[in-house]
Structure 1
Amino acid sequence: MNAEPSRIVLIVEDNTAFLATLADYLEGEGFQVLQAESAAEAFNILAGQPKLDLLITDYRLPGGVTGVMIAEPALKLRPDLSIIYMSGHPAEIIDSATSTLLVAPILAKPFSLAVLRARIDALLPSH
């Protein structure tokens, strides 16, 4: 059996405890997880990571940056990238009128890890 995780996920979340919970869960599910607490960290990872399957991003991030501001350029560089938005205020994402909503589901915080896994399974085809 291949010991390498087959899927690489970038999680962008400024709440470090929540970020750690998501990362621990997804690593336990067999994903390789990259973590960013800010847009700058996310962009550095996106620029330097040749393979990425999924971006899970909070909507409200430090410095007035939104998850949409990360997802839109990421999709231009990687049209096959799957995206999941997380927000305690999901209407803000809808109000942003981003075209990424056509392909990116929104998880309203709080959500269960089972719901997160179901969304991931729907986005990423299994091997």
Structure 2
Amino acid sequence: MNQPSTKIVLLVEDEPHVLALLSDYLVGEGYRVLEASNAAEAFEILASKPQLDLLVSDFRLPGNISGVMIAEPALKLRPDLKVIFISGYPIEIYESGSAIARSAPVLAKPFALDTLRGQIQELLAS
């Protein structure tokens, strides 16, 4: 286990086993993880938590909501928030036309957990 971190990650993923796997991994890496399985939960967390360092969001979520639709208002509330998208269909993220979709890292599922860790470390160091 790595050194404890004060970094807080909002993890948005609608597949329960993927959410649990990623959450457990990130906790093991020393991050504090807030879990959301849909957009409503994500927006509730965004509205109530004063400090978030990173948003890791699946792109396709229930109710025709995308990770981009969560990230854009989140960045308006928290301009320093870092964002990573994860998706089985990464091309859809780029095709969304969103500025955040062009600048945020995108990890195509399935991805190695070490790849996620490296991307998070790189983003949070900047």
TM-score bracket, shorter-length normalisation: over 0.9
**Total equivalences in the alignment:** 124
* RMSD, aligned CA: 1.4
Matching residue of 1:35 = 35
Matching residue of 2:49 = 49
Measure the CA separation in 2 of the matches of 1:44 and 1:70: 11
TM-score scaled to structure 1, two decimals? Answer: 0.94
Measure the CA separation in 2 of the matches of 1:102 and 1:95: 9
Matching residue of 1:113 = 113
Matching residue of 1:91 = 91
Q: What aligned pairs does 1:4-23 form with structure 2 within 5 A after superposition?
A: 5-23=5-23
Identical columns (%):
58
Measure the CA separation in 2 of the matches of 1:85 and 1:75: 14
How far the C-alpha of 1:94 sits from its partner, in A, is: 0.4
- Structure 1, unmatched stretches of 5+, are none
TM-score scaled to structure 2, two decimals? Answer: 0.94
Q: Which amino acid counterpart does residue 68 of structure 1 have in structure 2? A: V
Moved >6 Å (runs of 4+) = none
How far the C-alpha of 1:4 sits from its partner, in A, is: 6.6
- Structure 2, unmatched stretches of 5+, are none
Q: Is the 8 A contact 1:86 1:108 kept in 2?
A: yes
Q: Which amino acid counterpart does residue 12 of structure 1 have in structure 2? A: V
